[in-house]
Structure 1
Amino acid sequence: MTTAVFLAHTAAPSGAELATLRLLDALRATGRYRVTMIYTEDGPMVARMRARDIETLVVRGQFDSRAMRIGTGVLGLLTGFLALLRLGWNVGAAVKSAGADVVVAESTKALVLGAVAARRARVPLVWQVHDRVSPDYFGRIPAMAIRALARLACRGQLANSHATATTLPDLPTAIAYPGVELPVTQTDPRTRPAAEAVVVVVGRLSPWKGQDVFLHAVAALTVRPARVMLVGGTFFGEEPYRAQLEKLAAELGVPVEFTGHVDDPSEYLTTADILVHCSVLPEPFGQVVVEGMAAGCAVIAATPGGPAEIIDTGVHGLLVPGGDVGALTAALETLLDDPAARARLARAGRDRARDFDIHASARTVADFLDTMVTRGD
């Protein structure tokens, strides 16, 4: 049986980390791979991995996962990079002890770790990419540096969408969508009248996720829904953004429920009429879009990016240009005013969500890793 070791620089429960949890569980279930997860800090994801009996190690070093954020100065980036290189050497010892046949880096920072760790353990490195490596997200020079490092250090790449793959260096690449764990029982679409409807946005509170655009769109509605909910917390130094959203909601006169971080948003998704995804930058994939569809929500999602690979607009949901308040307001009006159309989109979306089952994603990853290991023999 092949052994794959996965690396992550943070144990905070954001979208990419939760997708990795699902993947490792499903990859192990194929019976083809033994999996080990290595984090460089303790945190909620360590306990979650271990709760599923996934071997999980913590290798600490002099690196703060909050360092090297988008917008960090040159000195901060260089200091963090050097700390990652040093930590990567220690991680390499753990990778070697785990008997790894291949190492998979689960973030850009983990890519730096993996470049050293895989070299020390003498195994191939694969980068599983959850973010578009583009100037609009990382900045021009950091994006160039990341692509150069991947080209030098990696044998292959796993991209979470075709949109992400277009931003990556020319290496062997497979598209492995972040699969979801489909509900055992189907949930019927909700068809409340507009004034009784529930509309949710699910995801980390972050400026690029566009929750402010959503609030402006709700404020412009002719008939506002009964409940408007922002489901998600703040990570990675973005805590002040929640206060900004609370102030904006008050100024606009839009009553909003802020839930904070929740471990499992399914209870909100299975009761909502409409899920809104409203990122203002192109979304690498948008796994919450699939989760909402699987839960019976009618979904509105922002383009360009991954959601356009999930939704055929007018069939499985509605697509709107990211950051366009008027278009989002119009889409909300359309779905709120016509519960029958809302239900039709929700049912088609629920069927479409089956195409993103985590077990299909795990088979794609297993097949690709097989080629990486074979090439290293």
Structure 2
Amino acid sequence: MRQSIRRRRSVRGDDLVTFISHTAAASGAELATVRLATALEAKGVATSVLFTDTGPMVEELHRRAIPVNVVSGPFDSSRVRIGGSVTALPIGVWHMVHTGWTLGGFAKQSGSTILVAESTKALLMGTIAARRARLPLIWHVHDRISSEYFGTALASIIRVLGWVVSAGYIANSTSTLKSLLTSRKRAVVAYPGIEPVVVPSREPRPPAEVEIAMVGRLERWKGQDLLLRALAVSAFRPSVTFVGGAHFGEDFGTELTELARELGLQDRVTFAGHVSDPTSILADADIAVHCSRTTEPFGQVIVEAMAAGCAVIAANSGGPLEIVSDGVDGLLVDPTDTTSFAAALDSLIEDSDRRSEMAERARATSTRFTIEETAAIVAQFLGVADRDGVGGRGRG
């Protein structure tokens, strides 16, 4: 699928920021990219997006009138992934190089002036694309480049590659930025902002009627099973809704369903699947849980839950530490410690006044993470103009 290429210019200046992503799935990084492109356009900065596969984000960008192209080619994302086939890796990398060359042709014809790689795979493809189009490449880093996720050797390779090929970094958190090689590189932290939501306050439910929500892809590292195990030893019997589907060929959902049955929780657990906008589910929940067993780079769903008026329990590492003030606007826990996790849940379920007060403070905290602020930081960093004349270089 390809949209006709057209040259675009921002309201002020000759900049066209083109984002490159290897997937158009409705995942955190891709949702953040769509929001950022929209907010930049609202500030008068021309944007476009290049995907190497089709998916829900393509239609969403069409709906928002953001130019988008899907570059069909030999690249198959499943060939290059953590834990994938070693024998398929060289073929996958070659396909990424080939696709990168095609992306460079698109960028050149459309009049792009800056390329922004939105994933690690996009970084490799963007390297080739930037060389062909003779454009600067910025790496928008949504993942912590650490051994915890990539393994020691691969994480080191990715860090060095990013340092060599990119002109600078946009990191989604300070935690993410610290996982990169930044010596003599321009870099900025731009938290993934959320779009405005209006959710009216409501009376807290009594302990026996509390609703819990957890939003996130059904993947082992996201830790949905940890919540189930904590609920199994909880003193209360809240209802729980898991929002999110499985991606990239994984089937963790089946394992979670079986675990819920083994723990005797099947009557209290709902798997809602992928929901394009989970705001209504979060708005109806009393408590939102984030319990990634692997360090989260940021945690957009935490901010979304806060804005929706939930009391939040989040993992005590990585990005969530930059969002939640423990005991003030949420609770931070080690989700792998079942006893402590369950105790945190019980403390909020039992005390409806504390739960309500924490939720109100969470609403106030969420206003620090707006997409308008994100766009302003990114526009300044990239040196592109906006309607208010904001421009120049980001901090190093």
Residue 264 of structure 2 aligns with which residue? 253
Change (3 A) 1:156 1:216: same
Contact 2:174/2:189 (CA < 8 Å) preserved in 1? yes
Q: Is the 8 A contact 1:189 1:273 kept in 2?
A: no
**What residue number does 1:192 align with?**
205
Supply the distance in 2 between the matched residues of 1:34 and 1:75 (Cα, whole angstroms): 41
Distance 2:245 2:150 in 1: 22
- Residue from 2, 5, 23 that aligns with 1:10: 23
> What secondary structure does 1:61 align onto?
coil
Give, in angstroms, the shift of residue 249 of structure 1: 0.2
In the TM superposition, what whole-angstrom CA distance separates every residue of 1:302-359 from its partner, at most 9, and x where no partner exists?
0211001001011110000142212210110000000000011100000000000100
Shift of 1:66: 2.2
CA contact (8 A) 1:199 1:276 kept: yes
Structure 1 residue aligned with 2:253, among 219, 233, 242? Answer: 242
Aligned to 2:276: 263
In the alignment, which residue of structure 1 is the partner of 2:109? 97
User: Which amino acid letter does the alignment assign opposite residue 318 of structure 2?
Assistant: G
SS across alignment from 2:383: helix
Q: 1:278 aligns with which of 282, 288, 291?
A: 291
- The structure with more helix, counted as a fraction of residues: 1
Aligned mates of 1:174, 1:342 — CA distance in 2: 35
Q: How far 1:182 sits from its partner (Å)?
A: 2.1
Shift of 1:189: 5.0
Q: Verify: 1:147 aligned to 2:159, yes or no.
A: yes
TM-score where L is the length of structure 1: 0.96
Q: Who is 1:176 aligned against? A: 190
- Between the aligned partners of 1:54 and 1:5, the Cα distance in structure 2 is 11
Does 1:127 pair with 2:139? yes
- Whole-Å Cα distance in 1 between the matches of residues 365 and 320 of structure 2? 12
SS in 2 for 1:137: helix
| Partner SS for 2:46 | strand
The aligned counterpart of 2:122 is 110
| Secondary structure class of the residue paired with 1:270 | helix
Deviations 1:66-98 (A, max 9, x none): 221211243333221111011100100001011
**Alpha-carbon deviation of 1:140?**
1.4
Q: Structure 2: where are the runs of 5+ without partners?
A: 1-12, 386-390
User: Given the superposition, is the C-alpha separation of residues 119 and 247 from structure 1 closer, same or farther in structure 2, using an over 3 Å criterion?
Assistant: same
Q: Distance in 1 between matches of 2:243 and 2:106?
A: 37
SS at match of 1:66: helix
Q: Residue 192 and residue 274 in structure 1: after superposition, are their counterparts in 2 closer, same or farther (change >3 A)?
A: same
Q: Secondary structure of 1:257's partner?
A: strand
3-state SS of the aligned residue for 1:4?
A: strand
Superposed, 1:326-341 pairs within 5 Å as 326-341=339-354
Q: Which moved more, 1:275-284 or 1:319-328?
A: 319-328
Deviations 1:111-151 (A, max 9, x none): 01100001111110000011100011011121111112111
| 8 Å contact kept, 1:190–1:296 | no
Residues 380 and 392, structure 2, Cα contact 8 Å, conserved in 1? no
1:323-362 residue pairs with structure 2 within 5 A?
323-362=336-375
**Is structure 2 residue 152 aligned with structure 1 residue 137?**
no
CA deviations over 1:148-172 (Å, ceiling 9, x no partner): 2111110000000001111111122
Residue pair 2:199, 2:283 contacting (<8 A) in 1 also: no
Contact 1:270 1:295 in 2 (8 A): yes
Provide the rounded CA distance (Å) in 2 between the counterparts of 1:282 and 1:76: 28
Aligned length: 371
**Runs of 4+ that moved beyond 3 A:** 371-375
Q: Separation in 1 of the partners of 2:280 and 2:50?
A: 30
Q: Could you say if the C-alpha distance between residues 296 and 190 of structure 1 is closer, same or farther in structure 2, counting changes exceeding 3 Å?
A: farther
Task: Name the stretch that deviates more: 354-363 or 316-325.
Answer: 316-325
Normalized against structure 2, the TM-score is what? 0.91
Are the counterparts in 2 of residues 190 and 271 from structure 1 also a CA contact under 8 Å?
Answer: no
Kindly provide the amino acid, as one letter, of the partner of residue 238 in structure 1.
E
Q: Which amino acid aligns with 1:269?
A: L
1:58 is the counterpart of 2:76: no
Tell me which residue corresponds to 2:221: 208
Which residue number corresponds to residue 30 of structure 1?
Answer: 43
Q: Deviations over 1:232-286 (max 9, x none)?
A: 10001212x1110000000000131001111110110000000000100110000
Change (3 A) 1:26 1:287: same
1:220 to 229, 233, 240: 233
CA distance in 1, matches of 2:320, 2:261: 30
> Structure 1 residue 304 and structure 2 residue 304: aligned?
no
Amino acid aligned to 1:299: V
Identical residues among aligned pairs (%): 47
Structure 1 residues without counterparts, runs of 5 or longer: none
Matched letter for residue 127 of structure 2 = A
Q: 1:371 & 1:243 partners in 2: Cα distance?
A: 47
Tell me, in whole angstroms, the C-alpha distance in 2 between the residues paired with 1:360 and 1:308: 20
Given that 2:139 and 2:162 are in contact with CA atoms closer than 8 Å, whether structure 1 keeps it comes out as yes
Deviation of the 1:101 alpha carbon = 1.1
Q: What is the CA–CA distance in structure 2 between the aligned matches of 1:278 and 1:118, rounded to whole Å?
A: 38
